[in-house]
Structure 1
Amino acid sequence: MTAHATGPIAATTYRGEAIENTHRAHVAVVDAQGRLLYQFGNPARLTLARSAAKPAQALAVLETGALERFGFDEADLALMCGSHNSEERHIDRARQMLAKTQASETDLRCGGHPPLSDDVYRAWIKRDFTPGAVCSNCSGKHAGMLAGARAIGAALQDYHLPEHPLQLRVKHTVAEVCDLPDEAVQWAIDGCNLPTPAFPLERLARLYAKLADAAAHSTEAAGSTSSRTAALARIYRAMTTYPEMVAGEGRFCTALMRCFDGALVGKVGAEASYGIGVRPNEQTDRLGAKGALGIAVKVEDGNKTVLYAVVADLLTQLEIGTVAQRAQFESFRAPPMLNTMGVETGRMVLSVALEAVGDKTA
């Protein structure tokens, strides 16, 4: 198979001087107009965005009017976009969202699972705690879906099924915001039991560029921005204002958005996909972007350690933010490889060489 089909090597891990693993990846960097600016590997790689698609799914719920009808605030919206740690604040907020919608945990069609946080897991073990559906890292998305179903007058039952009226709206919204016809998006079932989209990687980058560009233009005079732009800007603000609801303590997404203080939004997807939207600034102008910048990454073998290393390396290559901000992610870009005695056993070497695409001055 060709490198284009399988993906070029993005990272190599060594144990001593011997190569232990190689990891292939793809990267797409676009601007708010959808122009591909830089690539690595195959930017058209059909990609299951998994939880990186949550902002687009949340957009469909937001546009039903559910947030206003049920009194959801921006932290609730951030949780709808999140893959949370199952910390008490996450579980409590999901329960509050259900209560506002006059729904219950038994209405949720996601299942409980071990938390994404080691600290939370240790606490659960000590308590002999068995997690329920509200503890799912996707419970915010599901609570939002229940609110959306109620807002359009659809049954709560089977809200998760592909043919449910709400999911039909979600499918259309996801395709539309990615500038694709409905039939160009493939759908599968996610780990949390909701439909999850697959589309070219560069369309994930386009989604995040739109989020960031909307945030940059949402302060324009009243009436000068569309309702869709206002909704995308609201999602961006919710995620960047409440990054702890998007992931939680010790997680890359939360650390990234805290560090950049509203200048970018980022979200991981299961099996190593990632989307970043960077608000327009001098750095994005220098990169040739018209408006905001969108970055999407997919690591072929699903390794999240490699994913975060690649994302951190891309921030350095593209010179996003300040040197001090990027330095905070050095432990992700070059993760220490230690054994159980704390002895360094190897290293990771990154080889993501971005290729400029076309004439970025046009």
Structure 2
Amino acid sequence: MNTALAANAAVTTYRGPAVENRHLAHIAVTDAAGRLLYAFGDPHRPTLPRSAVKPAQALAVLETGALERFGFDEGDLALMCASHNSEERHVARARAMLAKAHVTEDDLRCGGHAAISDEVQRAWIKRDFTPTPACSNCSGKHAGMLAAALSMGSPTKDYERPEHPLQRHVRSTLAQLVGLNEAEIAWGTDGCNLPTPSFALDRLALLFVKLAAAADAIAPASPREAALARIYRAMTAHPELVAGNGRYCTALMSAFGGDVVGKVGAEGSYGLGVRAGAHGVDGVAGPIGVAVKVEDGNGAVLTAVVTEVLHQLQIGTPQQRAQLDAFRAPKIKNTVGLEVGRTEVCVPLARQATST
């Protein structure tokens, strides 16, 4: 046995008494100033948050004035932050957003794909349905970006390209949010065809604590803080649009009633923003941000780790946390429903020294 791997594993799965898999993970918890409060693994691991940065991309869209110009509502804003199930409500809203912006589905550059939801995918197969770009889990973000390009006075053509003025605006907005120079952020291409950033994991926690801090503010200190608060409220008021039936983001935000915002990213990334008074971190009166990365990208492992962190940091009430316990230690069953294995999560968060 690799004892080093066993010692550093965040999650271990068993089949009967035998170890089947060990999964590595990294966690960063920060306060509103970006100071590291707790860590597990490498809290500075360079990370592609993927769709976990959608709130930052939505901020860039919002700051162009596109929501007001085209009459987008808070549900539309939530869909801009979504990795949705492609349920009918999601696809219909994406198409309505396109209509509001006077663009068409042919203008989208995200492409169609199999639905995240097994239920939706089975229904598509029965209908012999081929998903179109509006069915993409990222269609809300792309519809918002088309509107943003128009609001900036830029062409919609090539809106997804790194050199487009809109994507330059997104890069600048993101760098400011996570407290880095643009040169410190590496960029690749996401599954939905948009530029996707890579930066230190604790900076993702900072992004989410800024969302929570903005929601806490009695009076916004700046237009940007007001915009961040608006994004927080849209996501937490419409969790069913951010993901959908059976999905963790929807279950999480529904359980915590506006006190927590959360967003998954492909390949094992997650960001959480927790409002002041909704956590049990000693010595921290304000909000906190949490970022998680699972090395092998396993989605069930990711949600198990995030749920365990909720317990360790005493986020919300025991009753609220209990609503997510099905994700905390998922049972392993075979094809006849027999329980044949178990999941153990071990992520002892280490308190970090912070300066005052």
Indicate the TM-score class for this superposition, using the shorter chain for normalisation: over 0.9
CA shift at 1:324, angstroms? Answer: 0.9
Structure 1 counterpart of 2:313, which letter?
A: L
Q: Which residue of 2 aligns with 1:199?
A: 199
Q: How does 1:163-182 map to 2 (within 5 A)?
A: 163-182=163-182
TM-score w.r.t. structure 1 length?
0.95
Q: Identify the residue that residue 73 of structure 1 maps to in structure 2.
A: 73
Matched residue of 1:274: which SS?
strand
The answer to whether the Cα contact below 8 Å between 1:214 and 1:233 also exists between their aligned partners in 2 is yes
Counterparts of 1:232 and 1:347 in 2: how far apart (Å)? 39
Offset of 1:288 from its aligned partner? 2.9
Shift of 1:282: 6.1
- 1:315 equivalent in structure 2: 310
Tell me the distance in 2 between the aligned counterparts of 1:60 and 1:270. 21
Instruction: Report what 1:302 is aligned to.
Output: 297
Corresponding position of 2:39: 39
CA contact (8 A) 1:26 1:298 kept: yes
Q: Which amino acid aligns with 1:37?
A: L
Residue 325 (structure 1) aligned with residue 310 (structure 2)? no
Percent sequence identity over aligned pairs: 62
Q: Distance in 2 between matches of 1:226 and 1:138?
A: 29
Change (3 A) 1:319 1:54: same
Match of 1:89 in 2: 89
Letter in 1 for 2:254: R
User: What is the alpha-carbon distance in structure 1 between the residues aligned to residue 336 and residue 4 of structure 2?
Assistant: 38
Query: Partners of 1:7 and 1:26 in 2: how far apart?
Result: 14
**Contact 2:15/2:340 (CA < 8 Å) preserved in 1?**
yes
User: Structure 1 residue aligned with 2:332, among 323, 329, 337?
Assistant: 337
Task: Show CA shifts across 1:125-144 (max 9, x none).
Answer: 11111100000000000000
Aligned counterpart, 2:288: 293
Number of residues of Structure 1 aligned to a counterpart in Structure 2: 355
Tell me the CA shift for residue 3 of structure 1: 6.8
**TM superposition shift of 1:291:** 2.0
Asked if the contact 2:259–2:278 (Cα under 8 Å) also holds between the matched residues in 1, the reply is no
- 2:214 maps to amino acid: A
The TM-score with structure 2 as length reference comes to: 0.97
2:265 maps to what in 1?
269
Counterpart mapping for 1:19-168 below 5 A = 19-168=19-168
Post-superposition CA distance 1:92-111 (Å, at most 9, x none):
10001101111000000011
Q: Is the 8 A contact 1:8 1:26 kept in 2?
A: no
1:349 Cα deviation after fit? 0.9
Q: Secondary structure at the match of 1:187?
A: strand
5+ long unaligned stretches in structure 1: none
Closer/same/farther in 2, CA of residues 333 and 282 from structure 1, 3 Å limit: closer
Separation in structure 2 between the aligned mates of residue 295 and residue 131 of structure 1, nearest angstrom: 34
Query: Residue in 2 aligned with 1:186?
Result: 186
Q: Which residue of 1 aligns with 2:250?
A: 254
SS of 2:64 mapped into structure 1: coil
Answer whether contact 2:278 2:315 (CA < 8 A) is retained. no
Counterpart CA distance in 2 for 1:89 and 1:225 is 35
Cα distance per residue 1:301-344 (max 9 Å; x no partner) = 00010000000000011111111111111110011110011111
**How far apart in 1 are the matches of 2:7 and 2:73?**
41
SS for the counterpart of 1:19 is strand
Contact 2:32 2:287 in 1 (8 A): yes
On the 8 A contact 1:84/1:90 being kept in 2, the answer is yes
1:32-82 per-position Cα deviation (integer Å, ceiling 9, x unaligned)? 110100000001000001000000011001000000000000000000000
Secondary structure (helix, strand or coil) at the match of 1:109 reads: coil
Which letter does structure 1 place at the counterpart of 2:118? Answer: D
Whether contact under 8 Å (1:7, 1:24) holds in the other structure is no
Secondary structure of 2:10 counterpart? strand
SS at structure 1 position matched to 2:279: helix
Q: CA deviation at 1:123?
A: 1.0
**CA distance 1:72–1:282, shift in 2 (3 Å):** closer
Which stretches of structure 1, 4 residues or more, deviate above 4 A after TM superposition? 1-4
How far off its partner does 1:359 sit?
4.2
Give, as a single letter, the amino acid of the residue that structure 1 aligns with 2:348: A
Q: What is the DSSP-based 3-state SS (H/G/I as helix, E as strand, rest coil) of the residue aligned with 1:283?
A: coil
The offset of 1:8, in angstroms, is 2.7
